[in-house]
A and B are shown apart, each in its own frame.
Chain A
Amino acid sequence: MKPRGDGAMGRWGDGATRKKGHSSLLTPRSSMIYLLLLTGSVSMLLPFLWMVSTALKQADKVMAFPPQWIPSPVVWRNFIEGWGTLPFNLYLKNTCIITGTVILGVLLTSSLAGYSFSRLRWKGRDVLFIITLATMMLPAQVTMIPVYLMFRNLGWLNTFKPLTIGAWLGGGAFNIFLMRQFMLTIPLELEDAARIDGCTSFGIYRRVMLPLVKPCLAVIAIFTFIGTWNDFMGPLIYLTTPDKLTLALGLQFFQGHYGVTLHYLMAVSLIVMAPCLILFFLAQKYFISGIALTGIKG
């Protein structure tokens, strides 16, 4: 497999369309395309609109039929009141601590491993790399139970450690793979110059490599953020007392909470989704290059 670096980065935009220029808006063919595009867009956006609409409704308007798409009155208070029903600020704090710790660990250890696999020459390197890749085939359920028992014996249940330590021990085979592929695209000459100047491998990693692989670090950070922020099964297994809940667990708890109505539920769900959506809008090019980076073709 060969990496496809940033060649694909600009493709999100109209890159492909620039060559031949835009076709007119009015041909039968393009009208057909627009019709399909709009139909699809409606089905993609409707659930979001439904959610926003419900979140802004007055309690007695939620179940109106036919539904009121534009709420009247618009109740912005729902966000504050829904958020205040349970200690969501605490859940937010817990989620931020876990997500932050995981991202740091993943970035550090996956780039260290990626550097070693792509640049340093040592016996057993390629075998270990293959083994690392092979672990991707292993469903998490196989190791879940012994790992749980291990944390139980260590007395780590109901702490954040079981949810974060894995990130500091390699950061996941897929991320290591991405790091290695990306580092392989960086010219050797840059390193040789530093080595001649007497730089150690760690110095090269820190001063030469890390600044050059920033796009790859960004991609990994983004996908790790989304995965950890939304993780449900891990916290469900390991966190048990109300003061340790994450947003995902809190939401699930909120759903069964006495007297919680849909407009609150949608308002809080929307707040929980918001960071992922905002991140997507801010970092669209990294999302796309991340997908191209996987180098799935060839």
Chain B
Amino acid sequence: MSKLRKRETIEGWAFIAPLLVGLVFFTAGPVLASLVISFCKYDIFSAPRFVGGRNYAELMTDPLFWQSLKVTAIYSFVSVPMGLGLGLAVAILMNQKVRGIAAFRTIYYLPAVVSGVAVALLWMWIFDPSYGLGNVVLRSLHLPGSQWLTSPKTSLLSLILMSFWGIGGGMVIYLAGLQSVPQHLYEAADLDGAGVLQKFRHVTIPMLTPVIFYNLIMGIIGSFQVFTQAFVMTNGGPVNSTLFYVLYLFRQAFNYYHMGYASAMAWVLFAIILGLTLVVFKSSAFWVYYEGERR
């Protein structure tokens, strides 16, 4: 190795040294430790005790585990596809050539820049069954009011509805995608006599599939990690109807100090997210179109 090359190698490692420390102490080490702990009973006050696969076996017979999985799955399978569709519809609207569209884009994106406890508190007030905005709007449309978060029938739906307030985040990604569809494709379709719907179906959608794919993956991962809303707004209730997976995991870890059990839950979560992501990746060969890709 030349002297210069050697120096570059040393410099290369020096520049990533902080990252390397982080990867070792905050990722690799903890991942291994977490795996080990998931096979132990550990309450942090006494030494961990190896119990083999018992935590995982207990999970399988824990009704709250299944409830939390069900709640999270319903939330994910309803809010993600509907959010994708809504985001796309709004993006198409935002891509129209009308006056003042920039102002509309700002308005639609605005809710996506706020998050956390403040937003949760705002929506709790909106969902107030007696005086909240939700029922004010329903009543003004002559519809019956809803119990929102206070009934197990509507609590999860309310949280799904709330998630649509933030579709602006996905919208801008679609918008960037829409605006990078080459104009000549539409012109060619025009020459072939394609109508608006045909152009949408055969030009816009195929060209947008990579963006849909990205939003889908991010949406799935995000939806399985819902925590703040559930913790602040409902604390899992009523009758566990909003007991999200990560909320239950958090309780096991930091309320009951069942560190082994919670670690096992974390690994199951990882497996689920990985599994779903793989399915989407595998399926992408059939529906995602990459420009410049050889088939």
Whether a CB of chain A sits under 8 angstroms from the CB of B58 is no
For the complex, count residues of A whose C-beta is within 8 A of B: 107
Shortest Cβ distance from residue B197 to the other chain A in the assembled complex, whole angstroms: 15
Task: Tell which of B115, B124, B179, B228 touches A11, judged by Cβ atoms closer than 8 Å.
Answer: B179
Q: Which residues of B contact A54 (CB under 8 A)?
A: 125
Query: Contacts A141-B249, A233-B250 hold; do A115 and B15 have CB atoms under 8 A apart?
Result: yes
**8 A Cβ contacts from A190-221 to B:** 200-202, 205
**Neighbouring B residues of A64 by C-beta, 8 Å:** 131
> What's the nearest-Cβ distance from chain B to residue A196, in Å?
13
Given contacts A50-B126, A262-B125, contact A142 B270 (CB under 8 A): yes
Docked CA distance A20–B95 (Å)? 13
Chain B 12-54: CB-based contact to A (< 8 A → 1; otherwise 0): 1101101111110111011101100100000010000000000
Q: How many angstroms from the CA of A235 to the CA of B208 in the assembled complex?
A: 38
Contacts of B232 in A (CB 8 A): 232, 252, 255
Using known A-B contacts A51-B122, A169-B19, A205-B15, determine if residue A291 contacts B34 with beta carbons closer than 8 Å: no
Q: Is B190 an interface residue (CB 8 A)?
A: no
Q: Is the CB of A22 within 8 A of B11?
A: no
Query: CA of A109 to CA of B16 in the docked complex: distance in angstroms?
Result: 8
Q: Provide the bound-state CA to CA distance between A265 and B206, in Å.
A: 46
A273 touches B13 (CB 8 A): no
Cβ of B97: which chain A residues have Cβ within 8 Å of it? 16-17, 20, 22-23
Asked if B16 and A149 sit within 8 Å, CB to CB, the answer is no
**Quick one: which of B13, B21, B291 contacts A169, CB cutoff 8 A?**
B21
Tell whether, in the assembled complex, residue A287 and residue B113 are in contact, meaning their CB atoms are under 8 Å apart: yes
Please indicate the chain A residues that have their CB under 8 angstroms from the CB of B279 in the complex.
none
Check: A150 CB closer than 8 A to any chain B CB: yes
A76 within 8 A of B: no
Give the A-B pair count, Cβ closer than 8 A: 283
B98 to A: closest C-beta gap in Å: 5
Interface residues of A in 12-48 (CB under 8 A from B): 12-17, 20, 22-23, 25, 30, 33-34, 36-37, 40-41, 44-48
How far is B8's CA from A60's CA once the two chains are assembled, in angstroms? 70
Give the distance to chain A from B264, nearest Cβ to Cβ, in Å.
10
Query: Is residue A97 contacting chain B, with contact meaning CB distance below 8 A?
Result: no
Are the C-beta atoms of A12 and B102 separated by less than 8 Å?
Answer: yes
Contact partners of B157 in chain A: CB under 8 A: none
Question: Besides the contacts A17-B101, A51-B122, A269-B122, what 15 more A-B pairs have beta carbons closer than 8 Å?
Answer: A16-B179, A46-B133, A63-B130, A64-B131, A116-B15, A121-B8, A138-B270, A145-B37, A145-B266, A169-B22, A170-B22, A236-B231, A251-B121, A284-B106, A297-B180
- List, sorted by A's number, 26 A–B pairs whose CB atoms are closer than 8 Å: A8-B179, A11-B179, A16-B179, A17-B101, A30-B98, A41-B104, A44-B107, A48-B110, A50-B125, A65-B131, A67-B136, A113-B15, A116-B16, A121-B9, A121-B12, A135-B23, A142-B34, A255-B232, A269-B118, A276-B114, A277-B114, A287-B109, A288-B172, A296-B211, A297-B180, A297-B211
